[in-house]
């Protein structure tokens, strides 16, 4: 049952014991329900700031079939504050077909970026057609301007 798996995932995230990382990753890789996969990322992956989880998030952002799951990964990567994710986030910002992924990619880039990131976000804003994503890009640029 998906609800039981998600509840167990949330509980492990709250406990925060790093011994749970491998079982969580194994369960995540076997999970085919996109809602459960999104919940795994939202409620568990953000609690463990490990290299294994970070690499899984990069892979998910790059190749998961569900836009909701990719969006959760993009959002979570911003909390990791690891500059290695910028390339993946930028790729999603310019190339992902789904607006929610682009929106969260921009938001995470504002958490990780510096002054040069503003130019990337401006370029994306000039190309973007969706109003929600344009608003997210404007907010991201404003946040980076404040933090200069």
Q: What does the pLDDT look like over 16-68, one tens digit per residue?
A: 788 888 888 888 888 888 888 888 888 888 888 889 999 999 999 999 999 99
d(CA 61, CA 92): 8
- pLDDT value of position 148: 64
Q: Which one is predicted more confidently, 2 or 129? A: 129
d(CA 53, CA 46): 9
What pTM was computed for the model? 0.90
103-143, pLDDT tens digit by residue? 999 999 999 988 889 999 999 999 999 999 999 999 999 99
């Amino acid at each position: 049952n998906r609800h039981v798996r998600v509840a167990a995932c949330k509980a492990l995230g709250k406990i925060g014991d790093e011994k749970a990382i491998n079982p969580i990753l194994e369960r995540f890789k076997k999970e085919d329900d996109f809602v459960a996969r999104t919940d795994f990322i939202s409620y568990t992956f953000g609690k463990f700031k490990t290299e294994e989880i970070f690499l899984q998030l990069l892979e998910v952002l790059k190749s998961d079939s569900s836009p909701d799951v990719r969006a959760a990964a993009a959002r979570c990567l911003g909390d990791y504050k690891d500059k290695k994710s910028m390339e993946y986030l930028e790729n999603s910002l310019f190339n992902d077909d789904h607006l929610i992924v682009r929106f969260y990619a921009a938001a995470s880039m504002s958490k990780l970026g510096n002054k040069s990131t503003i130019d990337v976000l401006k370029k994306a804003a000039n190309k973007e057609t969706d109003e929600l994503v344009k608003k997210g890009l404007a907010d991201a640029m404003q946040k980076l301007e404040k933090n200069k």
